[in-house]
Amino acid sequence: MSEPGLRTQQPAPAPARSAKPFPGHFPGHDAVARALGLLMASTPCTARHARLILATAADLAQVTVAELAGAMARAPGEGPASAPGRVVRALHRAVEAARTPAAPTPGATPPPSRTRTEEVLSRLRGCQARLTNTPHDPGAVRAMDDAAHTLCVLMGRPSAHEAVLAAERHLAEAT
């Protein structure tokens, strides 16, 4: 028991690790934003999936997200600062895992109209081109995220990659 008048200090709780690997602005934020844009344009995927791919690749390579993003931002062959092979392999594994199709859902909805499918797929391709040219532009990231999500919902697929494949198959069947 403590003496009267003295406050007992309870130990401070250990700092909780953030569930989000991308809090606010931090060192390397610009590199991470660029890496997210590059992943969204090349995979294609939504911003949420790009964050998951980046975090997964960083875990696989045993580096921080900022270090992985910095390695992605460097031009190939910049001497000893180039990305190590384990980082490149981890990134490829994470992208391939994101592209792996999920099990088909029973009782799928009928395909949307050809016109609507063409419209949304064209919008996604335009956003993809814009994001490829300016991967750090927040407006381009939002537009790509919206287009990818719309295509996912339209095609009834859980990932943008699957939705693109389904849309292309649907358009090829209609001709």
pLDDT for 100 equals 79
If you write DSSP's letter for every residue of 73-101 in order, what string do you get?
HSPTT-GGGSPPHHHHHHHHHHHHHHHSP
- Per-residue model confidence as pLDDT tens digits over 158-169: 889 999 999 999
Stated as kind and residue range, the H or E segment containing 66 is: helix 65-73
Q: Please provide residue 7's backbone torsions phi and psi, each rounded to the nearest 5 degrees.
A: -90, 135
- Report which of residues 175 and 73 the model is more confident about: 73
pLDDT for 20 equals 45
Q: Can you state the angle between helices 65-73 and 85-99, rounded to 10 degrees? A: 100
- How many CB atoms are located within 10 Å of the residue 84 CB? 12
- Per-residue model confidence as pLDDT tens digits over 119-156: 999 999 999 999 999 988 999 999 999 999 999 999 98
User: Is the model's pLDDT at 97 over the cut of 90?
Assistant: no
- Per-residue model confidence as pLDDT tens digits over 20-77: 444 444 456 788 889 999 899 888 888 898 999 999 999 999 999 988 888 887 755 5
Q: Please provide residue 153's backbone torsions phi and psi, each rounded to the nearest 5 degrees.
A: -65, -45
CB 45 within 8 A of CB 71: no
pLDDT for 73 equals 74
